[in-house]
Amino acid sequence: MPTTMAHHGPPVAALHLLLQIHLAVMVCSLLPSSAGAFTSNNTNAAAVAPRLPCLRSQEMALLQLKRSFTATADSITAFRSWKVSTDCCGWAGVHCGDADGHVTSLDLGSWGLESASLDPALFDLTFLRYLNLGGNNFNLSELPSIGFERLTNLTSLNLPNCNFSGQVPYNIGCLTNLISLDLSVSFKIVELADETDRYIIVGHHNIGRLAVTNFTSLVANLGSLRVLNLGGLDLSQSTDWCDALSMYARNLRVLRLPFCDIDGPICGTFSALHSLSVIDLQHSSLTGRIPDFFANYSLLKVLQLSYNHLEGWVSPKIFEHKKLVIIDLHYNPILSGSLPNISADSCLQNLLVGHTNFSSTIPSSIGKIRSLKRLGLDAPGFSGNLPSSIGELKSLNTLKVSGLNLVGPMPSWITNLTSIKVLKFSQCGLYGSIPSSIGHLIKLKTFAVMQCEASGEIPPHVFNMTQLEELALGSNNLIGIVELNSLWRLPNLSLLDLSNNKIVVQEGKENSSMVSFPNIQYLKLAACSITKFPSILKHLNDWMGLDLSNNQMHGAIPRWVWENRSTDPSFRLFYLDLSHNNFNSVGYETFLPISLVELDLSFNMFEGPIPIPQYSALALDYSSNMFSSMPA
Ligand SMILES: *[C@@H]1O[C@H](CO)[C@@H](O)[C@H](O)[C@H]1NC(C)=O
Ligand SMILES: *[C@@H]1O[C@H](CO)[C@@H](O)[C@H](O)[C@H]1NC(C)=O
Ligand SMILES: *[C@@H]1O[C@H](CO)[C@@H](O)[C@H](O)[C@H]1NC(C)=O
Ligand SMILES: *[C@@H]1O[C@H](CO)[C@@H](O)[C@H](O)[C@H]1NC(C)=O
Ligand SMILES: *[C@@H]1O[C@H](CO)[C@@H](O)[C@H](O)[C@H]1NC(C)=O
Ligand SMILES: *[C@@H]1O[C@H](CO)[C@@H](O)[C@H](O)[C@H]1NC(C)=O
Ligand SMILES: *[C@@H]1O[C@H](CO)[C@@H](O)[C@H](O)[C@H]1NC(C)=O
Ligand SMILES: *[C@@H]1O[C@H](CO)[C@@H](O)[C@H](O)[C@H]1NC(C)=O
Ligand SMILES: *[C@@H]1O[C@H](CO)[C@@H](O)[C@H](O)[C@H]1NC(C)=O
Ligand SMILES: *[C@@H]1O[C@H](CO)[C@@H](O)[C@H](O)[C@H]1NC(C)=O
Ligand SMILES: *[C@@H]1O[C@H](CO)[C@@H](O)[C@H](O)[C@H]1NC(C)=O
Ligand SMILES: *[C@@H]1O[C@H](CO)[C@@H](O)[C@H](O)[C@H]1NC(C)=O
């Protein structure tokens, strides 16, 4: 899977805010008389207690820490206020909460700093309660194995996206006052709207991930823990994660272990963690059932179990839970269940059960859940009619529907979904023409009708939806001529799939508007009666997938197809499928300057030596041609 760079988003920021609130509350309850001196600047002067400046030992530790970061433009700006012999309690990111000159809070979060490793001077700040070094680059170093145990007052330890590697030191487990622990690396999944259901994991590129091998040792003394975020860590050896949490972390409110490579079932003792409000175990290898007792967790708001191998029947009670805001079970292929009638006072915003073995009709009561924003019913087992009440969901921004036995005309009420950004019908029985009123949905970024029974011509209004990023209309009964040059009006288009219809794709005349031809990354035009390699594709840079199979192209593949690639040889394309055409020449030397996952040249009339991708390839199909030799 390729990864691309992205900065960690609102969730981390929100967590931070939450912790600041915790901290403020705690500080006030410990020190009622002097609290006003540092938490508020409008307290009247009489209440202000004497306040000591920063102690020398604290200043020395901070200056040593500062020196341990590489001097860059960012760090010089960030540390501008950190000057020798000034009161360190006033330095940016530093806070002395007890008015006795000890540093109690250090927040260097996202300062863009770089360091060879975490300097042990940090551990001289023994009065620290809040520590955040998140988003700085520690260059794949290991966390110091001794030192953390000295920070006994620490309640909040935040080291997300720090590029540490190796083991989480077990002495973090000595910090018995910890309320919040975040060692995560942020990742996100981007699903592509093509028929292959590919997805891409987006996150920090080339970043270290920590590992925990004995979860029990880490959490056995962390009974105060309320927030635990170990997203992206390697927990594949931590077979005890579930029992250990259930036994020792009974106060947990927020549990985030996505992308952690954990396997096995959710253990029965997990029922002890009934105060959880967030359970995020996305993208691991969980097996077994979703425990019925989740429906009894009265504070539960977020349940994210997508991209696992969960199975069995989901208790319908989970969907009736009154506080749940997010239920995300998608991509659990053998997880079964059915949707009950959900009452109108539900708080649900995201209901995602796509790519599961869910089967039922879609209750029309779903249109009464006004809070819904994302509705993912893209499981092939849905049947019956698509209730028009969904058209009343004014806040809906994502609607995905499947159902081989879900029949009826393409709904015209979709036009009423004026907030919609992602609209995807796939593997369904919906028939008839795509309503031209679709053009009113000007916010649409993804529009897909795939493997359904849609017929008629593609309404020209589709090419007026200028925000479109993905247009996937493959495997229907659509007809008509589509000129590729009409795409110039969709500047942000990155995926186009018109394959396997009765559509004839033509190039159209190249004209000056082609300078703004969209930079499509995934183009699928299989079986589109194409007779000539579309030269318009020359305008694409760094495309990731091209499927022109089952057309009537002949002669040589244009040389630029092989050459228009990124100069970075590690840049890989997913697929190039030119099978089932009449090409007779690869149009290049024996070694192709590309690196890819799948290359399919089968069922053509290629002659000469077999061409070889120069860098790497996973699957190559050269069959049914007239190649003469393998290169030596
Ligand atoms: C405290 O000071 C800050 C900055 O000097 C100011 O923005 C804020 O409004 C003040 N707060 C109160 C409650 O006076
Ligand atoms: C990071 O590590 C690389 C080699 O692993 C080294 O060349 C580089 O100097 C280090 N950077 C810092 C800031 O220590
Ligand atoms: C921890 O905090 C308490 C109360 O604020 C204080 O008395 C104690 O000295 C602190 N311990 C350390 C090691 O800083
Ligand atoms: C992590 O550190 C390695 C080694 O220095 C470096 O190559 C990589 O770019 C760093 N990753 C990030 C996200 O800073
Ligand atoms: C994990 O650590 C605990 C004590 O901290 C120990 O009892 C247990 O045997 C360890 N488990 C493994 C698998 O090493
Ligand atoms: C959920 O709570 C109800 C009522 O308290 C109880 O009858 C039921 O057994 C509980 N279910 C589970 C799975 O714990
Ligand atoms: C999928 O659901 C159907 C219908 O509910 C059921 O008969 C079948 O056993 C399920 N398949 C799996 C693998 O659970
Ligand atoms: C949902 O409610 C409708 C009408 O009230 C009823 O006909 C239907 O059987 C109910 N469905 C389920 C699954 O309870
Ligand atoms: C769609 O909106 C129109 C006009 O506002 C309204 O007449 C129609 O009933 C709506 N349809 C649905 C299914 O909500
Ligand atoms: C597309 O937009 C243009 C310019 O706004 C407009 O003139 C044209 O009628 C629209 N075409 C369709 C089919 O909606
Ligand atoms: C295309 O995407 C860019 C960046 O996301 C955005 O600023 C721009 O408005 C989009 N253009 C259209 C026509 O939607
Ligand atoms: C380019 O071609 C498109 C589609 O045929 C047409 O709408 C547009 O007016 C042409 N632009 C120019 C500058 O000729």
pLDDT digits (tens, 9 = 90+) for 244-268: 999 999 999 999 999 999 999 999 9
* pLDDT reported for residue 538: 84
Q: Is residue 123 part of a domain?
A: yes
Q: Is residue 57 part of a domain?
A: yes
H or E stretch at 30: helix 10-30
Question: Which of these, 378, 292, 387, 363, lies nearest to 328 by C-alpha position?
Answer: 378
Lowest mean pLDDT: which of 3-7, 295-299, 361-365? 3-7
Return the amino acid letter for 263.
D
The mean per-residue pLDDT over the stretch 299-324 comes to 97
Q: Is residue 150 part of a domain?
A: yes
The mean per-residue pLDDT over the stretch 424-436 comes to 95
Q: Ligand 2: which atom is nearest the Cα of residue 137? A: 13
Question: Is there an atom of ligand 5 within 6 Å of 216 CB?
Answer: yes
The CA distance from 386 to 473, in Å, is: 19
Distance (Å) from CA 37 to ligand 1 centroid:
13
Q: Is residue 377 part of a domain?
A: no
3-state helix, strand, coil in the chain (%, to 5): 20, 30, 50
Mean predicted lDDT score pLDDT of the chain: 88
SS3 at position 574: strand
Q: Take residue 592 and report the two structure tokens written for it.
A: 């192709």
Burial 349-372 (b: 16+ CB within 10 A, else e): bbbbbbbbbbbbbbbebbbbbeeb
> Higher-confidence residue: 2 or 530?
530
* pLDDT reported for residue 378: 95
Distance (Å) from CA 243 to ligand 7 centroid:
30
pLDDT digits (tens, 9 = 90+) for 158-170: 999 999 999 999 9
The pLDDT > 90 percentage for the chain reads 75
Question: Is there an atom of ligand 6 within 6 Å of 197 CB?
Answer: no
* pLDDT reported for residue 46: 43
Lowest mean pLDDT: which of 299-303, 490-494, 513-517? 513-517
* pLDDT reported for residue 176: 96
Q: Is residue 254 part of a domain?
A: no
Q: Ligand 4: which atom is nearest the Cα of residue 140? A: 2
Look at residue 34 and tell me whether its pLDDT is greater than 50: no
Is residue 260 within 8 A of residue 232, CB to CB? The reply is: yes
* pLDDT reported for residue 49: 60
Look at residue 185 and tell me whether its pLDDT is greater than 80: yes
The CA distance from 556 to 568, in Å, is: 26
Q: Is residue 289 part of a domain?
A: no
pLDDT digits (tens, 9 = 90+) for 516-556: 788 898 999 999 999 999 988 888 877 889 999 999 999 99
* Ligand located closest to 388 CA: 9
pLDDT digits (tens, 9 = 90+) for 577-624: 999 999 999 999 888 888 888 999 999 999 989 998 887 788 899 999
- How does residue 50 score in pLDDT terms, banded at 50, 70 and 90? confident
The best mutation among 138, 163, 210 to test binding of ligand 4, ranked by most ligand atoms within 8 Å of the C-beta, falls on 163
Lowest mean pLDDT: which of 31-40, 426-435, 462-471? 31-40
Nearest CA to ligand 10 atom 4: 464
Count of structural domains, the chain: 1
Look at residue 425 and tell me whether its pLDDT is greater than 90: yes
149 φ, ψ to 5°? -60, -15
Q: Is residue 106 part of a domain?
A: yes
Nearest CA to ligand 1 atom 7: 41
Using a 10 angstrom Cβ sphere, with 0-12 exposed, 13-18 middle and 19 or more buried, the burial of residue 76 is exposed
Q: Is residue 59 part of a domain?
A: yes
| Containing structural domain, residue 108 | 52-154
Lowest mean pLDDT: which of 80-94, 431-445, 476-490, 618-632? 618-632
CATH number of the structural domain spanning residue 96:
3.80.10.10
Q: What is the largest CA-CA distance in the chain?
A: 95
